[in-house]
Structure 1
């Protein structure tokens, strides 16, 4: 016996309404803003001290945190694994994911990992547990940035977020973006200052060891370097190298992770290798000709460069030669970190020197498994005694897709020096 027509219509309408509500609820659950935090369930690992040599290979770029964890960036996720000297990437020790925002940059100091997202949000994580330590609003990034599958640009060269040691000893996180600078304390995320700026003509370079935020300001006439107190936001000196052109590029040198505490910089014109090195201190930058070369690096007060196939260390302050080392032919400077200078030979051997004396600390081939050494180096990173290098397929095709661009599905090689 069927329903009368009127009741049938009501039943159909109710069923349709319930189906619509169910679909809407499903869509909301899938598309609504959300975050998923998966904290650590195991003990915080001990610091590792592996022997010098290749540790392993990884599919994505690691950020070494506290000498104990490797932190990685994905499109909408930041996560860590352990041990720091593991041969392969392992199950995440902790993970943090946001939706629909995308991860824009990661910096770390001590056991605090600060993430910046496409909506401007700053989220700090405790590296020991993976739990959220604090959140703060920040300016949204300007424009989009192409990041390949390794995420190296996100963790090794983050944009729009800089760590700065304030003059009073506090650690500061400065986020720059759409028309604004905002600084918060690393310890608790509390706002210290904010400033309205024209992001189209200002470029934050890094911070100095004396607690200043360095910005290239080209908003009103020829470009100048602006030095702002990282703790208060007050602009102090504005300086321009004598004889500089209308435009100016500043490359920070002698920095810690996150372009923090830089002790020097090199200025040049856009697209010009002819630069000038400068030491940074409390007063005006002081000329440092030993840092003029575009391939010169600064570590522990020593300017290191490869000159006609010879590795030379000079005092950055006086220019006096401290040591020289005729090494394997055609070496290139790969990366530096405190107490270590890393060079790469044409056969992809990694040579590590003491920056104070030039003495060899280690020497070995960057070969993992049966991959061989027939690759070209891409982005490189050094911290806590480790070196990580992207391995690119030869001949390198910058326009190729990731499968063509990288050597293997695990293109990162990790070594202990």
Structure 2
């Protein structure tokens, strides 16, 4: 004895509706936009003072924040670990995850960590706690985000995401993409300005230390270097180097990190011909002949390059030679930071010099455990006395997959200099 035919149909309809509702709930939970913030539970770490030498090795690129934390980028997550001189990556101190947006860039100033996402959202986190400090809308990134498994491009040189400071010391975040640029007050996330920028004829170069966004504009004629006030968005100067061609390559030099707070520019014709160095500041850029060479770094007022096998320090403004070291062996300058020049020799010894005098600050082999030194350097990051280097498998094949491209499963080597 069963249900009458009409009741069986009703039961079947109800069951189908219940199944559909359950599926809808599951799909919503899985696919709906969401964010998960896991704040810090332990104490904020103290400043570390490790001795000069290799600190450890890591699977992903660290962004060192406030000299106390290491911040990392994942596909849909930004997270931190501690201590900054830990030998290996540890359990996250805090974490922030979004779905379905992808993480495209991270920058930090003091204890503020700002992440940028593929939907344009800007999320500022307090590095001391991992709590969200503010949220703001920004332009959607226009460049396709590509980053290998280390995430170095995301945390060390994110496209369209820059920091600078106004003359009165206020920190400003500048974000560009989807045909516009915006200035954001870093302290509270308030939008200061926004302006349209034609992506097909305008590109960013970076920011200066005194609150300027630098770009190259070719929308109304020959390529021109454009300086824009990061506080108001107003164009303050348009400049073309003497003898410049209609097309112009402009690269930032002497940046604090990535392409932020850069103290000089190098201009050249397409392909790099006729490179010229320029110091930026109030007024028009000033010639800096010591920065003409594309392999020259700027730290403080010194231009540093390897010339005929010797490391040479010159006055960036006059080109006068200040010191020369021909006793360090063959190698190249891989990074600079305030008070430090980092030379990597052909044997993968790291030599750190004082940029003002050439005096040696430290020297040691970049080798972690029993990994050896048979690797080639990739992306490099230097801040707060630390240096991180991607280690690549020789011969370097940029088109290889990550397993072949990187030296080991923990390709980042972190050192204190």
Shift of 1:330: 2.0
Aligned to 2:165: 165
Count of residues paired in the alignment: 417
Alignment of 1:20-31 (within 5 A): 20-31=20-31
Equivalent residues in 2 for 1:34-183, closer than 5 Å: 34-183=34-183
Q: Is the 8 A contact 1:168 1:231 kept in 2?
A: no
1:322 aligns with 2:326: no
Aligned to 2:351: 351
Cα shift at 1:269 = 2.2
User: What is the TM-score of this pair, normalised by structure 1?
Assistant: 0.98
Deviates more, 1:36-45 or 1:213-222: 213-222
The answer as to whether partners of 2:379 and 2:389 remain within 8 angstroms in 1 is yes
- Specify every segment of 5 or more residues in structure 1 that has no aligned partner in the other structure, as ranges: none
Please state how far the C-alpha of 1:202 moved relative to its aligned partner.
1.4
Map Cα deviations across residues 200-224 of structure 1 (whole Å, 9 max, x no partner). 2211211112221111112222111
- RMSD between aligned alpha carbons? 1.0
- 2-side partners of 1:67 and 1:392: how far apart? 27
SS of equivalent residue, structure 2 residue 262:
coil
Where do 1:374-393 residues align within 5 Å? 374-393=374-393
> What is the rounded CA distance, in whole Å, between the counterparts of 1:273 and 1:378 in structure 2?
25
State the 1:258 CA deviation: 4.7
SS of the residue corresponding to residue 232 of structure 2 reads coil
- What secondary structure sits across from 1:174 in the alignment? strand
Aligned positions of 1:195-274 closer than 5 A? 195-272=195-272, 274=274
Q: Distance in 1 between matches of 2:270 and 2:172?
A: 30
Structure 2 Cα separation of the partners of residues 168 and 238 of structure 1: 23
Q: Helix, strand or coil: the match of 2:213?
A: strand
Deviation at 1:103, TM superposition (A): 0.5
Q: Is the 8 A contact 1:163 1:258 kept in 2?
A: no
Q: CA deviation at 1:328?
A: 3.1
Report if aligned partners of 1:214, 1:225 keep a CA contact under 8 Å in 2. yes
When structure 1 is superposed on structure 2, of 298-307 and 200-209 the one drifting more is: 200-209
Separation in 2, partners of 1:322, 1:328: 17
Distance of 1:207 and 1:145 partners within structure 2 = 21
Q: Matched residues in 2 for 1:307 and 1:56: separation?
A: 32
Cα contact 1:165–1:260 (8 A) shared by 2: no
Contact 1:274/1:294, CA 8 A, preserved across alignment: no
1:4 corresponds in structure 2 to: 4
C-alpha distance in 1 between matches for 2:403 and 2:273: 32
Give the conservation status (yes or no) of the 8 Å contact 1:40–1:94.
yes
8 Å contact from structure 1 (residues 313, 322) kept in 2: yes
8 A contact 2:249–2:272 mirrored in 1: no
Matches within 5 A, 1:284-363: 284-363=284-363
Q: Secondary structure at the match of 1:7?
A: helix
Deviations 1:143-172 (A, max 9, x none): 313210000000011101111112332111
Q: Indicate the residue corresponding to 2:372 in structure 1.
A: 372
1-structure distance, mates of 2:202, 2:127: 32
Whole-Å separation in 2 of the counterparts to 1:50 and 1:232: 42
Question: 2:279 and 2:180 mapped to 1: Cα distance?
Answer: 28
Is the Cα contact below 8 Å between 2:183 and 2:191 reproduced in 1? yes
Distance 1:406 1:273 in 2: 32
Partner Cα distance (1:11, 1:143) in 2: 53
Match of 1:189 in 2: 189
The whole-number CA distance in structure 2 between the counterparts of 1:269 and 1:146 is 27
1:119, distance to aligned residue in structure 2 (A): 0.6
Q: Displacement, 1:319?
A: 1.1
CA distance in structure 1 between the partners assigned to 2:75 and 2:247 by the alignment: 34
Contact 1:107 1:258 in 2 (8 A): no
1:372 deviation in Å?
Answer: 0.2
1:83-137 Cα deviation digits (max 9, x unpaired):
0000000000000011110001111000000111111111100000011100110
Give the direction of change, closer, same or farther, for the CA distance of 1:273–1:145 in structure 2 (3 Å limit).
Answer: farther
Which region of structure 1 is more displaced relative to structure 2, 245-254 or 352-361? Answer: 245-254
Find the aligned partners of 2:167 and 2:194 in 1 and give their Cα distance: 17
TM-score (norm: length of structure 2)? 0.98
